[in-house]
Amino acid sequence: MLGVFDSGFGGLTVLKPIHQRLPTLSTMYLGDNARAPYGVRSQEEIFQFTLEGVRFLFEQGCPLVILACNTASAQALRRIQQDVLPLEYPDSRVLGVVRPAAEYLAKHATRVGLFAPPATVESAAYVHELYDLGPAIKVTQVACPGLTDLIEAGKQDSPATDTLVAGCVKQLLAKDEHIEEVLLACTHYP
């Protein structure tokens, strides 16, 4: 069984294509709606909450857990892989979404824009991964505080969301008007 973890509802945008591509795979989804959003929390909190979610999914019988959440992938994945798995769960695996998304972008663009919650922007995880894959790639990040809360509250089609998104787009284009690809670096945004 494959475990999929997110800070809330957002990771369902990752679970759906997994089901479409691997229809016979059984999955278990855990969204931490009670404590979302993660994107405004400290690195330590994100690490502790993510680890709790991962432990829960391991205990349910998932030997592989995907952190669908960009924020958890950016702020907690490496520490879980390096410090927790070898000692406590040597036969289990945790994977994230930052590296695969960065690999896709590196193949398709040299000027990349990124919308994300504040903690993902602060981690600079995408900036580092993309630099690693192609030092010439220019990454322009825009933090979108409040957007996850609106989506978790079911207000994705509201004037407040429209205004917030328009402001983020304006900021991005003010920083670089020649962006080729934009990554919605949060599972809630699609």
Tokens of 65: 């857990």
Which candidate in 62, 69, 144, 168 is catalytic? Answer: 69
**Least CB distance to ligand DGL at residue 119 (A):** 7
Instruction: Choose which of 70, 75, 123, 141 interacts with ligand DGL (CB under 6 A).
Output: 70
Q: Which of 119, 117, 76, 121 is nearest to 96 (CA)?
A: 76
**Least CB distance to ligand DGL at residue 37 (A):** 3
Q: Which of 95, 84, 111 is nearest to 173 (CA)?
A: 111
Q: Is 37 in the site for ligand DGL (CB under 6 A)?
A: yes
**Least CB distance to ligand DGL at residue 177 (A):** 26
Q: Which of 146, 148, 129 is nearest to 137 (CA)?
A: 129
Binding mask 109-128 for ligand DGL (x = CB under 6 A): --------x--x--------
Q: Is 188 in the site for ligand DGL (CB under 6 A)?
A: yes
Tokens of 101: 């998304």
Active site residue 62: no
**Least CB distance to ligand DGL at residue 135 (A):** 25
Which candidate in 62, 144, 168, 186 is catalytic? Answer: 186
Positive or negative, the CA dihedral 148, 149, 150, 156 is: positive
Q: CA-to-CA distance for 95 and 182, rounded, in angstroms?
A: 23
Q: Is 140 in the site for ligand DGL (CB under 6 A)?
A: no
Burial of residue 43 (number of CB atoms within 10 Å: 0-12, 13-18, 19+): middle
Q: Is 71 in the site for ligand DGL (CB under 6 A)?
A: yes
| Stretch near ligand DGL under the rule CB under 6 A, chosen from 47-55, 78-86, 101-109, 180-188 | 180-188
Q: How many CB atoms are closer than 10 A to CB 174?
A: 10
What are the distances in angstroms from CA 31 to CA 26, 56, 80, 186?
Answer: 17, 11, 18, 14
Positions that interact with ligand DGL (CB under 6 A): 6-8, 10, 36-39, 69-71, 117, 120, 148, 186-188
Catalytic residue set: 69, 186
